[in-house]
Structure 1
Amino acid sequence: MGNYREETRKLKVISECFVKPTVNLGNEASKTPIHMGIPDLFMLTMDTMQKGLLFDTKLQPNTLNKIEKSLYISLVHFYPLAGRLATQKFHDEHDCSFYVDCEAGTGATLVHASVDYTVSDILSSVDVHPIVESFFELGEKSVNHDGHTRPLLSVQVTELVDGVFIGFTMNHCIADGTSLWHFISTLSEIFFQINDKNEKDNALTLEAVQKISISKKPIIETLFPQKGNGPIFKLPYLEPEEFISRYDPGPLRVRIFCFSPESISILKAKANEECGPHNSISSFQALCAFMWQSITRARNLKPDDEVHCGIVINARAIFNPPFPPEYFRCFLTGTQSSSKVSDLINKGLGRSALLINQSIKSHDEKAYRGLIKIFEEHPMVVQAGPGTIYYRPNNIKIGGSSRFDMYGPEFGLGKAVAVLAGYASKEDGKVTANPGRQGGGSVDLEVCLKPETMNVLELDEEFMSFVSSI
């Protein structure tokens, strides 16, 4: 991804502070430990979430102060984000459990920085510009377990020569993409209710907080496997060294490919035509299948090699009835499709899309509960990288969502001109979907590949014929 350490040195830190509410809305749950369930524990050794918005408007004099106030009020509602992770050890059993201590720690971090780059410098870069990594927590790397000592939420406002970038880093053990964008949207919603006349007054009383309304309040309780604070799940470890690893994927190129609604419609029609009348392939499934084929072709693998396509999905939607999107938690699951290289490339888009379609359909509530039961009986922490139980060579993993309202939050700066991510969760074959900056149903895919693979993909005429140039 470029030399982020060199780029980070170009960043000037103007100020840094911690934001932690001193009031609450009478909710006693904000003082109660939140025990981490099995889906949360999956993420302990993984990277945090990092998403940010690039604006082509310069920071106004009162904007930073209003963001700080908005953050304060948001944390009254999203109170786990102001806390820290904590561990309870059971020495006799050689076990430990994890929870969020909502009252511990110094709160969320708010960083103000500047850099001598223009918006055009960022947008004109073929690959994601290496300076972008420093727009999140000043480029410092961490895994979710580090939430024992590091903030669970960090907001970094970086001034460019002619614009501003607002980067959000959120601990993935306590939230997922649905919850992240719920929080960002709420923060922006509160921002527009802050009174400019009192911009120098940093004190926020309970009465002032109560006057601020939010349209979608977070639901902060354990809904699965039972309501309330939830059971305590134990892991067979005592010390972090027994299960925490830090995976370095090596050199990668990261590029965003834009797909117009017209290109996606063509792929969808082609996939459904090849599948026959009894199957219904969605636009996203067709796009995923196209990426699976294209990346596999670029890797130049042997015909008999086994390749895999994993898709991360929102587990809220597979329950009947579905859990509400306001459910603030890390609630993800995943599907896995497999094929031989020769079959994947030679038997058409429809077959690849159908494999993905069937794997998604089969991963219902019953399958999810079965997976959780396996982890209850054999608890472990999911590791990343070669040599781990879940590592599959020649894999692509597709996450994110083009349905998130990423261009809605504006913070008085107008509509963002790009959504960009930091270093987190980058590995060979990782594809992240975002709504397209073109709008209208377009999709932007952030693709991470080894440099030699990306070089081949860019020369693939069939692949590039579906990519929009903007």
Structure 2
Amino acid sequence: MYSEKVELVSECFIRPSHLPEKAKKPYHLGPFDLAMLSVHYIQKGLLFKKPAVTNDQEDPVEALLQKLKKSISVTLSHFYPLAGRLATKKEESPQSYVVFIDCVNSPGARFVHAKLDLTISDILSPNYVPLVVQSFFDHDRAINHDGHKVSLLTIQVTELKDGVFIGCSLNHSVVDGTSYWHFFNTLSEVFMKDIPDEGSEISRPPIHERWFPDGYGPVFSLPFTHTDQFISRHDAPELKERVFHFSAAALARLKAKANANCIDKSITISSLQALSALMWRCMTRVRGLPHDQITGCKLAMNNRPRLHPPLSQNYFGNCIQAVRATTTAGNLLANDFEWAALLVHKTVAAQDDKALNKFISDWLQKPSVYQLGQFFDPCSIMMGSSPRFDMYGNEFGLGKAVAIRSGYANKFDGKVSLYPGHEGGGSMDLEICLLPHLMTAFECDEEFLDGLNLSG
């Protein structure tokens, strides 16, 4: 018999090896950051094979832990906000409510070493992702506002019988997916190149200068006087979570099908847009929604290249927004797949600088904070993360990871997270969350199975 309980071995806090002078001032959050205060942390991680022990070598896991701690400290000197804590400054007259990052008065980022009496096969062989994977991450069920009292960043190393899982939990008010993987990639770079302490160069220095709309910033005051006015907790119902693999050939065929009958030849529907349309149709079908029920396909989009002038991909912070294609369940299923794919494409194409500036302008007129329980409705789906992120390039001296997994955070019925496929080449892995009875129906849906097997 084996235990499915993760055992805490040790924990500590890690500070930056060097704190730049500018880090001693308040690090202000922008509109895209503040809107995330009531959603969960980002929790993603990589599963590796455990290095072999040799007679003349120290415990390889202990060596990994020590080098990883040093690498985190060096990396934090570049990504210094992650070593801080959230802070709030309230004023009565004139009334203001400002949330920012205090990079000085903090013990630093958290580091955890844990053990689990399971194997890689125990984690990857079941059809559904085991619940124990959620314990590979810190900040279970924490929301970003909790960053006032808990770390903004935790790296947890969970040692299995034959594997090592490196999980990263990062405050979503501080980073979006682009910045999350920017940090993770840099941590791996520092580790692999053994980049030293002071004055070290990294390949992609983060840009900490905050982006603000013209005429605004650097300080935004929220229209609240108490956390009860903008903070809520959301517990997901029981979900089944499964990872499905789409080969590069299957995705190419799906893209070709979506574009085959498009009259406007200036339009090219992407693989991701075609895949989103397929997920939307299949999940709507198994849900059995009424014909006139409004349904949506939401996509988390990186706004950096859509702003004018565009922001660098090295811009550190949140610069994302969820866009939503909508129609009725009846229209979605009465029309063909190509119709749905074109609708998704048009929704994405409309997200330009003008639309973004309108969104920001509206937010500034009436600042709001996303609420998980209200933001995601049971009649829509949400496509998150991105196969474009360099996930498998993070090796930490362990070789290529065997799998990517995520924690409890930001999951609900109809959530799809997109990862690059392990073999690369344009393949994708889809982490899909559905209510148990819907997952059973989804796994048998003919259109889904056809899309999954289009490589033949």
Whether the TM-score (by the shorter chain) exceeds 0.5 is: yes
Q: Determine if contact 1:257/1:468 at 8 Å carries over to the other structure.
A: no
1:374 alignment partner, one of 350, 358, 362: 362
Corresponding residue for 1:12? 7
Deviation digits for residues 75-116 of structure 1, max 9, x if unmatched? 000000000001011224554111111112110001001100
Corresponding residue for 1:43? 36
Instruction: Name stretches of at least 5 consecutive residues in structure 2 with no aligned partner.
Output: 52-59
**CA offset at residue 127 of structure 1?**
1.1
Matches within 5 A, 1:452-467: 452-467=437-452
Matches of 1:140 and 1:352, distance apart in 2: 36
**CA offset at residue 440 of structure 1?**
1.2
User: What is the SS of the residue equivalent to 2:451?
Assistant: coil
1:342 alignment partner, one of 320, 330, 341: 330
Matches within 5 A, 1:79-98: 79-92=80-93, 95-98=96-99
1:23 aligns with 2:8: no
Corresponding residue for 1:198? none
Q: TM-score, normalised by structure 1?
A: 0.91
**CA offset at residue 52 of structure 1?**
0.1
**CA offset at residue 439 of structure 1?**
1.5
User: What is the SS of the residue equivalent to 2:11?
Assistant: strand
Corresponding residue for 1:130? 131
**CA offset at residue 325 of structure 1?**
1.0
Return closer, same or farther for 1:451/1:93 CA change in 2, 3 Å cut-off: farther
**CA offset at residue 31 of structure 1?**
1.1
User: What is the SS of the residue equivalent to 1:62?
Assistant: helix
Return closer, same or farther for 1:235/1:321 CA change in 2, 3 Å cut-off: closer
**CA offset at residue 287 of structure 1?**
0.6
1:406 alignment partner, one of 363, 371, 391: 391
1:107 aligns with 2:108: yes
**Cα RMSD, aligned residues only:** 2.0
2:302 alignment partner, one of 314, 317, 320: 314
Q: Determine if contact 1:8/1:131 at 8 Å carries over to the other structure.
A: no
Q: TM-score, normalised by structure 2?
A: 0.93
Deviation digits for residues 40-75 of structure 1, max 9, x if unmatched? 111000000010000022454411100000000000
**CA offset at residue 392 of structure 1?**
3.5
Deviation digits for residues 251-281 of structure 1, max 9, x if unmatched? 1111111111111111111111132343311
Corresponding residue for 2:57? none
Matches of 1:349 and 1:441, distance apart in 2: 22
Matches within 5 A, 1:189-208: 189-194=189-194, 208=196
Instruction: Name stretches of at least 5 consecutive residues in structure 1 with no aligned partner.
Output: 1-6, 196-207
Q: Determine if contact 2:23/2:80 at 8 Å carries over to the other structure.
A: yes
Corresponding residue for 1:267? 254
2:236 alignment partner, one of 249, 266, 271: 249
Matches of 1:233 and 1:32, distance apart in 2: 16
**CA offset at residue 431 of structure 1?**
0.9
Corresponding residue for 1:201? none
Return closer, same or farther for 1:328/1:163 CA change in 2, 3 Å cut-off: same
The sequence identity of aligned pairs, in percent, is 44
Greater Cα shift, 94-103 or 208-217: 208-217
How many residue pairs were aligned?
444
**CA offset at residue 125 of structure 1?**
1.6
Matches of 1:422 and 1:127, distance apart in 2: 14
User: What is the SS of the residue equivalent to 1:370?
Assistant: helix
Q: Determine if contact 1:253/1:451 at 8 Å carries over to the other structure.
A: yes
Matches of 1:392 and 1:214, distance apart in 2: 42
Matches of 2:152 and 2:361, distance apart in 1: 28
Matches of 1:93 and 1:397, distance apart in 2: 40
**CA offset at residue 237 of structure 1?**
1.4
1:177 aligns with 2:162: no
Provide runs of 4+ in structure 1 moved above 4 Å: none
Q: Determine if contact 2:181/2:391 at 8 Å carries over to the other structure.
A: yes
Greater Cα shift, 446-455 or 149-158: 446-455
User: What is the SS of the residue equivalent to 2:182?
Assistant: helix
Corresponding residue for 1:362? 350
Q: Determine if contact 1:8/1:134 at 8 Å carries over to the other structure.
A: no
